[in-house]
Chains A and B, each alone.
Chain A
């Protein structure tokens, strides 16, 4: 079975400092992995997606994630946090089967301080 574990429920950073949101996955086959962001009162938005092409995936708003098979990790990073990055972030794995049945992690709430 596929699953993801987000290692931090809350992360707090200062504006302009790097962001690291950690995610480990479990999958019996080569997974499709995603990061989604959820701002209050807005729909979930796809940040980036890994599907066995390049292991370093670049997404929107300056975010990127690196797929590391040896560590079963898919951590999300951003070099410099902006106040508008404050939101809930979800690491997600897709169940293999021809459609987008997504398994979400519990989420990491990112706070950005001035």
Chain B
């Protein structure tokens, strides 16, 4: 399968611990997005990268959150000192911009539960 891959699928952690998620986009895709989806809601935009540059961050992304995309390939999302409110599905999407229509491809997400 050459779709967007996210790891792990599920993560259970205790409040105060740090967690890191990984996203592998579709090969050659230059844009990568992170979204967060809480129970009963639609996904909310967190941040996006154009190659290795992080070009926008949502207000939802507090100082405890950091995202990287070294070398413009895979991306990591780290949450420090997790809180119960961080419990959500974290979705990654990638796209290839060629001057025309941009189509996002989403991964299956990482489900985070903070106890």
Contact = CB atoms under 8 A, between A and B. Distances in A.
Interface of A: 41-46, 49, 51, 90, 92, 99-107
13 contacts: A41-B108, A43-B105, A43-B107, A44-B43, A44-B91, A44-B93, A90-B42, A99-B56, A100-B31, A100-B104, A102-B35, A104-B43, A104-B44
B48 to A, nearest CB: 6
Interface of B: 3-4, 31, 33, 35, 40-45, 48, 50, 55-56, 91, 93, 95, 97, 101-109
Contact of A102 (B43, B55, B101, B109): B43
Contacts of A51: 101
Given A46-B103, A103-B45, 8 more contacts: A44-B91, A51-B101, A99-B31, A99-B55, A99-B102, A100-B95, A102-B45, A104-B42
SS class of chain A's interface: helix, strand, loop or mixed?
loop
B45 A101 contact: yes
B9 to A, nearest CB: 8
